[in-house]
């Protein structure tokens, strides 16, 4: 990839790159694409397709609903910071 192509990619990603970074990333991305082309040439005719290779299975537990009585709820809410309409109020997470 040349520096003009890297600049175009950077503009699409809304990145501001210096001339030095353009040169650096031009070389790095060209090397990566060259390696990908080598991988495309690998003979995979006798290779079984795989979606995952670890053999691990889902180990998550099933979600359950626990019913709390009114006293337990009050104790839990007493430990919360700020409340609003019986619910815990927290600061904004996303701007």
Does 35 fall in a domain?
Answer: yes
User: For residue 37, is pLDDT > 80?
Assistant: yes
Question: How is 58-83 classified by DSSP, letter by letter?
Answer: --PPPP------HHHHHHHHHTSSEE
Range of the domain at 27: 3-40
> What SS3 state is found at 88?
strand
The DSSP element (H or E) to which 2 belongs, if any, is none
Does 22 fall in a domain?
Answer: yes
Does 88 fall in a domain?
Answer: no
Does 72 fall in a domain?
Answer: no
User: For residue 95, is pLDDT > 80?
Assistant: no
Q: Indicate whether this model's pTM tops 0.75.
A: no
**What is the per-residue pLDDT across 14-24, written as a single tens digit (0 to 9) for each?**
999 999 999 99
CA torsion sign for 40, 43, 49, 55 is negative
27: CATH: 1.10.20.60
The runs of H, that is alpha helices, within the chain are 3-12, 19-40, 70-78
């Amino acid at each position: 990839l040349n520096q003009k192509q890297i600049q175009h990619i950077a503009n699409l990603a809304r990145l501001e790159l210096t001339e030095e970074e353009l040169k650096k990333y031009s070389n790095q991305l060209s090397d990566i694409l060259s390696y990908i082309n080598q991988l495309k040439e690998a003979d995979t005719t006798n290779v079984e397709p795989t979606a995952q290779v670890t053999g691990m299975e889902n180990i998550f537990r099933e979600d359950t609903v626990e019913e709390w009585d009114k006293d337990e709820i009050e104790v839990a809410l007493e430990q919360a910071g700020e409340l609003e309409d019986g619910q815990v109020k927290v600061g904004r997470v996303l701007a």
